[in-house]
Structure 1
Amino acid sequence: MVLSDTSKGDIGWKKWLVAGWAFMECLFFAGLLYGWASINFVLKSEGIYADLCEDTVNSSFLTYSVNNSESSVVNVVMLNATTTSSNMSEVSAKKQPCKPQDSKMALCFTVGSAMFCIGCAVLGYIHFRFGTRVTRLISFTMFVSGTLMMAFISKENPWLMFPGLSLMGTGGLPILVTNTQVSNLFLAGSSSVVGLLCGGFDMSSAVMLIVKIAYENGFSRMNMFIIITVMHSLFLVSTFFFLPKDFISKPVVKQGMESEIPEDGEAGIELLKQNNQTGEGTAAKTELPSLLSCLKQTKFITHVIWLCILQLRFYYILGTLNPYLNRILDGDEKQVSYFTDICFYIMMGGLLTSFLSGIVYDSQKRVFSDGKSQMYREIMPAVLPLALASALSVLLSILVLIPVTEVLYLTFIVMTVYRSFLYSLGAAFLSAIFPSEYFGMLYGIMIVCAGIFSILQYAFFSWAEAYPEAPLHANIFLLCLVLFSFVHPLYLWITCWKEEKKFKVN
């Protein structure tokens, strides 16, 4: 094994190899679920669930052919051909919206995102109970099953997209969860490493954009998903050769003891090598708080509520992106395709924005490093980044209320930055505040709560279809809802200052 080297307790450049490989896994496989808008476009172009749409022209033609003579049918066919020829440009440019088809697609994403979150909790427990390797092998099996189902979706078997999307998404998230522990190899800038991995997770939605572009250039969806399935076998390299069987434990750093930490930032390397050699969870006999005590902490509860609200906002706009673009662009299919591509081109910048959120978090750690209380030093750095994420959610909610084509570019930019801050900070906060052994469980519980809450997106989608002004009303309601997310950073700020004042008084 690459990391089982025992040369003087220092693996040097190998930690960068592990981090780089972890990033590539997140980039290509972890978050394919979030490329739903691109694959949604492909599936609708292939006519998946198109049988639910009303075709008034064909219905009229069939009725006429049944009730008239053979010669009349020929005349109708000629007339229909002439009409089709004269109106071809208009028909190709615009498509009438099909609400039953859109509803089915929205339901698929709702089910997929909910199973994604529930699966995260289950696999989080498996990660906590059985370690990294078992979790990744289960993840591998689920992901491969999902991508194969996505490959074989057809008009005869459209239902495959429901389990396919769910398994592909659920099998992808453990890639991020199991790789997050790599940040423990870096004493300095650990939050930036988490942000980088989350950036790869964000950018992985661009894989579905590649599938869409390939489809438009003559490649079949089936072949593209089979290629993804085959490439995923590289996932096993890290599973068996890079990562430990169990965990990479977080190094213990006490105030005033920094001089005992190696200057090269290799804290945790010896733990990793002992994990690889013995399979034990930690080399240091440190007593961990109970998992239940972590779950009961108010800062964990408010963090979960914060993620629930902001993820619902993100899921709703992502799941309804295609109908939203059709509404803004008056059903112009070419423009819808163009802006769908633009959206995911911009979202590929998630690497930079996720890394930015990690930099902001780490810079705040330096600002508050001289605090007297441990709570002030550990939690206060999260206040500004969390508040920025809430502010971006408010800005995004305002932008989607503006039905102007030019504003779409800014909407996609804000959407990209917002998503990066949301998921990077969601993971980085847990990684920084709680023991790394509990990360999988805590992250899974947080995500499953957010997933259950995000099922409301389907209710919002149904509301948006109810009457012409409904999309506006639904988005205004969501704007009011995301304002409540500021409670989390405000609570942390008040709590930290109260704790710090106690030390200053003493």
Structure 2
Amino acid sequence: MANMGKKDALAIGTSLLECVLFSGVIIGWPNLQQVLLNLSYFASSCSRGSPVNWTLNFNSSVNGSANIVCSGQQEAFNLVFTLSVSALSLAAFPLGHILDKYGTWVMRSIATTLYSAAYISIACMTPETSWILYPSMISISVAGLALLISNFQLSALTGSCRSVYVTLANGMYDASSLVYLLVKQAHEGGLSLRTIFFAMAGLTLFPWLRTFLVMPRMMARSKKQKRLDSISKDVLIASSDHPAVKQNTEGLSQCLRTVTLWTNVFHFSITNLQMGFYVGTLVSWLDEFLSSAAVESYTNIFGVMLIGGAVVAPLNGLLTDGITNYYKRKIDCKKARTHRGLCVSATLTSLLGIALAASAVCRQVLTSFILLVIYRSFIAGGNASFMALTFPQKHFGKLYGICQTIAGLVALLQYVLFKVAVQSGFVSVHAAMLVTCTLTLLHPYIVYKRSCRYHEVVAENNNN
């Protein structure tokens, strides 16, 4: 990173601020949901035929009145979040394809347009037009992911600190929950939702400026990669046995035949489902055993604690890089060392998921908040690091997109799980997630075995 140019340094620095302001605002959904509930959005879901499950929502700081919230209204909000998270993941593959084929400027222009349109739509929305929330939140989620993916490629400029940057960017993604917490506080302070979201639409000027002033037109490339690109085709063919060249010429079909890619997809899909279910149903879960005043207080605490993801996220990258560097003197094969670091990261992610499910079953609210903050950072950072470190950068967008797309389809189960939780209670669903998360330990085991295999092959070649 010492040889980094001023423009590259500015791109990396401003990317972290962009991640905080835009990339992961959907994570702060419980706080926005509280505001919309108090304004009676989706209240029409409580008309005739609505389920007979009612709760009391008290909002003394805004109007001093109590709002009756039915389960039909809560289901509508849960469906907004479920569709938004699923759309986020399902859009990853086409976004990755756009990035790989058309470049950074095109993808970011699409993302920022979606963001601006979504915020203006929410600003113009009323309780009678609550349906606008569906396309708006989906657009915000998809646009946020597009900006995050466009920033991930900047890891190529950070040299040996790639994992640290990727996980730090994901930590800033978690800190985006602060945005809707501030929206909630501003609304309680007297500002109208219309004013707040028009102001947020104005903030989208920032990603527009970043796109054309500091971001690469196509893809970010380090000086080493630029030198490699300048080598003639004949030299590449003649040097095809060189590891650096091999990694850059590895085909997409070969990547898709890698077993660890699919175990990573399984690992990410299950952990992402659990995380999404927990965040999306947080208010309903707390309503099950706490007073409405306590729920209001805990959602504020949750929004603040998620900011801790910015601190926790780099630990995953430091751990991965630390384990990899630890084996430098013991293992000659770079792939084997890298897989050891990824194995430890994936193992901790699975264990955190098991611990989160257990704390939710026992209704340990603050403990589950702390675990969720760490867990969320490890899920996103671990998946991105796995893709960035295991496969050639030229396929990162497509492979990351495939993983996110499958995870998005699995995430649609959140709404089904919510319906089950309403009927059978949240304890039973969290208990089932505990068992399911245990199965994700299969991925780090296979990654470890692959690491051992790489080490054995290199050792045999050296002996020969």
Give the one of 149, 168, 172 matched to 2:121. Answer: 149
Work out the CA distance in 1 between the residues paired with 2:258 and 2:379: 21
Q: Distance in 2 between matches of 1:231 and 1:96?
A: 34
In 1, Cα distance between the equivalents of 2:115 and 2:224?
Answer: 32
Out of 444, 449, 460, the residue aligned to residue 417 of structure 2 is 460
Residue by residue, what CA displacement relative to the aligned partner does 1:424-481 show, whole Å, maximum 9, x if unpaired? 11111111111112211111111111010010111100101124xx322111111111
CA distance in 1, matches of 2:119, 2:32: 12
Answer whether contact 1:195 1:355 (CA < 8 A) is retained. Answer: yes
Alignment pair present for 1:192 and 2:192: no
CA positional deviation for 1:175: 1.0
List runs of 5+ in structure 1 lacking aligned partners: 1-8, 57-87, 250-267, 275-280
Rounded Cα–Cα distance in structure 2 between residues aligned with 1:396 and 1:375: 31
Alignment of 1:222-233 (within 5 A): 222-233=194-205
For residue 392 of structure 2, the aligned residue among 417, 420, 435 is 435
Distance 1:52 1:503, change over 3 A: closer
Q: Deviations over 1:301-348 (max 9, x none)?
A: 11111100000000001110110111121xx22211110000010111
Match of 1:356 among 304, 312, 315: 315
SS at match of 1:188: helix
Rounded Cα–Cα distance in structure 2 between residues aligned with 1:33 and 1:270: 37
One-letter code aligned to 1:42 = V
Whether 1:129 aligns to 2:101 is yes
Counterpart check, 1:368 vs 2:361 = no
Paired residue type of 1:491: I
**Counterpart of 1:499?**
454
1:301 equivalent among 240, 258, 262? 262
* More deviation, 165-174/236-245: 236-245
Please show how residues 31-46 of structure 1 align to structure 2 within 5 Å.
31-46=24-39
Residue 151 of structure 1, CA deviation: 2.0
Measured after TM superposition, the shift of residue 114 of structure 1 is 1.3
Please tell me whether the aligned partners of residues 149 and 163 of structure 1 are also in contact (alpha carbons under 8 angstroms).
no
Q: Which residue of 2 aligns with 1:242?
A: 214
Q: Which residue of 1 aligns with 2:249?
A: 288
Aligned mates of 1:502, 1:355 — CA distance in 2: 32
TM alignment of 1:151-190, pairs within 5 A: 151-190=123-162
* Distance in 2, Cα, partners of 1:369 & 1:114: 40
What is the CA-CA distance between 1:55 and the residue it aligns to? 9.7
CA distance in 2, matches of 1:93, 1:399: 33
Cα offset, 1:13, TM superposition: 4.3
Flag structure 2 segments of 5+ consecutive residues without an equivalent. 50-59, 233-244
Partners of 2:4 and 2:157 within 8 A in 1: no
Distance 1:283 1:220, change over 3 A: farther
**Deviation at 1:271?**
5.4
Show the counterpart of 1:78.
none
Of the structure 1 ranges 287-296 and 413-422, higher mean CA displacement relative to structure 2 is found in: 287-296
Partner SS state of residue 201, structure 1:
helix
Q: Please give the residue correspondences for 1:474-485 in structure 2 after superposition, counting only pairs within 5 Å.
A: 474-485=429-440
Counterpart position of 1:27? 20
Counterpart CA distance in 2 for 1:327 and 1:10 is: 55
- TM-score normalized by structure 1? 0.81
Where in structure 2 are the equivalents of 1:55-74 lying within 5 Å?
none
Aligned to 2:350: 390
CA spacing shift, 1:43–1:247, aligned 2, 3 Å? same
Determine what percentage of the aligned residue pairs are the same residue. Answer: 25
State the Cα distance separating 1:236 from its structure 2 match: 1.8
Quick one: structure 1 residues 496 and 321, their matched pair in 2 at CA, closer, same or farther if it must change by over 3 Å? same
Q: Distance in 2 between matches of 1:29 and 1:500?
A: 42
**Range with greater deviation from structure 2 (392-401 or 139-148):** 139-148
CA distance in 2, matches of 1:447, 1:408: 29
Output one character per residue of 1:27-84: Cα deviation in whole Å (capped at 9) or x when no partner: 100011111111111111100111322699xxxxxxxxxxxxxxxxxxxxxxxxxxxx
- Kindly indicate whether residue 173 of structure 2 is the aligned counterpart of residue 201 of structure 1: yes
Match of 1:49 among 7, 25, 42: 42
SS in 1 for 2:370: helix
In the other structure, the counterpart of 2:443 is: 488
Q: CA deviation at 1:368?
A: 2.1
RMSD: 2.3
Question: Secondary structure of the residue that 2:17 maps to in structure 1?
Answer: helix
How far the C-alpha of 1:495 sits from its partner, in A, is: 1.8
Q: Residues 283 and 201 from structure 1, CA distance in 2 versus in 1: closer, same or farther, beyond 3 angstroms?
A: farther
Structure 1 Cα separation of the partners of residues 224 and 268 of structure 2: 34
Quickly say closer, same or farther: Cα 1:462–1:284, change in 2 above 3 A.
farther
**How far, CA to CA, are the matches of 1:114 and 1:307 in structure 2?**
13
Q: Is the 8 A contact 1:291 1:438 kept in 2?
A: yes
Distance 2:192 2:76 in 1: 22
- Amino acid in structure 2 at the alignment position of 1:377: R
Aligned to 1:40, what secondary structure does the other structure show?
Answer: helix
Counterpart residue type for residue 52 of structure 1: S
> What amino acid is aligned across from residue 128 of structure 1 in structure 2?
D
| 1:410 pairs with one of 346, 349, 367 | 367
Query: Whole-Å Cα distance in 2 between the matches of residues 352 and 176 of structure 1?
Result: 18
Matched letter for residue 107 of structure 2: T
Task: Find the counterpart in structure 2 of residue 255 from structure 1.
Answer: none
TM-score (norm 2): 0.88
What one-letter code is carried by the residue in structure 1 that aligns with 2:379?
Answer: L
The alignment covers a number of residue pairs equal to 433
1-structure distance, mates of 2:187, 2:48:
25
